[in-house]
Amino acid sequence: MAEIVNPNIVSLGRARKARARAEKEAQAAANRAAHGRTKDQRARDAAEEARRRALLDGARLEDDAPGVSPSSPSSSRPRPSPP
């Protein structure tokens, strides 16, 4: 019986390097999307975040103590009980 030989000989080093280049390009594209935004886009995102926070603060059921931010780590710690 005659063996069927693949006519396409592939250099494994070239294939490995091509795959590494493709992965680096994908990572670069992701970085461009995350960090390569215009000033207008950043301002729009900041305004959207401010609107979202205002909406959440408006829906708050009980008021926090004055001067204590709900996102500060000290407000999430349990208070010690008095002796």
pLDDT at 21: 97
- Residue 23: per-residue pLDDT: 97
CB contact set of 45 (below 8 Å; sequence gap of 6+): 37
Output the six-digit token pair for 83.
């002796």
pLDDT of residue 7: 74
Whole-angstrom distance, CA of residue 37 vs CA of residue 45: 10
Q: Is the C-alpha dihedral spanning 35, 38, 42, 44 positive or negative?
A: negative
Residue 18 DSSP code: H
Could you list the pLDDT tens digit for every one of the 83 residues in the chain? 567 777 787 788 999 999 999 999 999 999 888 788 888 988 999 999 999 999 988 887 776 656 555 555 555 566 677 66
Q: Domain residue spans in the chain? A: 15-54
| pLDDT at position 74 | 54
Report pLDDT for 28: 94
